[in-house]
Amino acid sequence: MRALLSVLLLAACGSSPEAPKAQEDPPQDPPTAEAKAKPDAQAPKARVMFLEPKDGAVVTSPVHLKFGVEGMAVRPAGEVVEGTGHHHVIIGPAGVAKGDVVPADETHIHFGKGQTEADIELPPGEHQLTMQFADGSHTSYGDVLATTITITVEE
């Protein structure tokens, strides 16, 4: 009777006493949010972009900006977490060198609450805007996570 029960249990599990069971990979935990945010060596390179306005756009003030980032996660300033950061907009073409802290002044606008869009006042004329991504302590990721567009503000 015990032998019959053993055969039935093995059959129910999809195995037979003659066939060795295939070795299965151990179950893996789903990736954490931090692991998802970390750039992967096989993933496309991390980058930032202006979703709005596009390079060459003619706009009115206040200028509505939408920020994008790939390969990193947006997180408010305050805590340095690998693979995360927040946006800064520099009115002008120059980004901030990797490892330098992004200054806070009228031409270096911080979005340390993790904002992904904002309105800024600009006078009429042509302007270069540089988006610079930086970590939780406002330390720049350098040119690899910076981009510059040129827009024209009409009266």
pLDDT beyond 80 at 63: yes
Is 80 exceeded by the pLDDT of residue 4?
no
pLDDT of residue 106: 93
Q: Are β-strands 125-134 and 58-60 bridged in parallel, bridged antiparallel, or unpaired?
A: unpaired
pLDDT of residue 16: 37
* Percent of the chain surpassing pLDDT 70: 72
Beta strands 84-91 and 63-70, pairing class: unpaired
Alpha carbon distance 58, 60 (integer Å): 7
Nearest to 153 by CA among 49, 62, 50: 62
Mean pLDDT score across all residues of the chain: 80
3-class DSSP state for residue 2?
A: helix
- What 3-state class would DSSP assign to 24? coil
Vertex 131 angle, CA 111 and 67, to 5°: 65
What is the set of domains in the chain, with CATH numbers?
47-154 (2.60.40.10)
Q: Find the length of the chain.
A: 155
d(CA 61, CA 146): 23
Predicted confidence at residue 50, as pLDDT, reads 98
pLDDT of 43 higher than 90: no
Tokens, residue 82 = 């690998």
Phi-psi region of 138 (alpha: psi -120 to 50; beta: other; left: phi over 0): left
- Over residues 55-74, the mean pLDDT reads 98
What per-residue confidence (pLDDT) applies to 61? Answer: 97
Residue 152: which pLDDT band, with cuts at 50, 70 and 90?
Answer: very high
The rounded distance, in Å, linking the Cα atoms of 45 and 143 is: 12
**H/E stretch holding 154:** strand 146-154
Inform me whether the pLDDT recorded for 38 exceeds 90: no
* pLDDT attached to residue 44: 55
Lowest mean pLDDT among 42-51, 80-89, 113-122, 138-147: 42-51
Q: What is the mean pLDDT of residues 59-73?
A: 98
Band of residue 93 on the pLDDT scale cut at 50, 70, 90: confident
